[in-house]
Structure 1
Amino acid sequence: MASNAEFNLKRLAKTTLPMDFVRAHSGEWDHQAWLEFCASLEDKGYTPVDLDQVGLLLEQKKMEYWAERNSK
């Protein structure tokens, strides 16, 4: 059975929140923006969650964002 953190990560991955964050920051963000995103996850009920895995999810979405931008 998946842990709550794994469950919340899967829930998050099914939303537009990660890509919305990437788009809102034009594919680049600083540490403060990252901390604010993490805090927003708690506010939205996505905790507990492994923030390292959230970071990897954002990096994946960032690659998708840049691939989409570069294909235009």
Structure 2
Amino acid sequence: MPSNAEVNLTRLAKTSLPMDFVKLHEGEWNHQDWLVFCASLEEKGYTPIDLDQVGLLLEKAKSEYWENKH
């Protein structure tokens, strides 16, 4: 049975939140932006969640963002 963190990561991956974040920051963000995004996940009920995996989701979305820009 998956952990709550895994369930929350799966839930997040099915939303537009990662890509919305990437688009809002035009494919580039700083640590403060990242912290605000993480806090927003907690506010939206996505915790517990593995923030390393969230980072990978954002990197994947960023890659797709830049591929579609060209």
TM over 0.5: yes
Aligned to 1:5: 5
- How far apart, in 1, do the equivalents of 2:49 and 2:68 lie? 28
SS for the counterpart of 1:42 is helix
Equivalent position amino acid for 2:58 in 1: L
TM-score with structure 1 setting the length: 0.97
RMSD: 0.2
Map 1:41-52; keep pairs closer than 5 Å. 41-52=41-52
Map 1:32-71; keep pairs closer than 5 Å. 32-70=32-70
- How far apart, in 2, do the equivalents of 1:56 and 1:13 lie? 11
- Identity level (%): 73
Runs of 4+ aligned residues of structure 1 deviating over 3 Å after TM superposition are none
- How far apart, in 1, do the equivalents of 2:6 and 2:43 lie? 18
TM-score with structure 2 setting the length: 0.99
Say how many residue pairs are matched.
Answer: 70
Structure 2 residue runs without a partner (length 5+): none
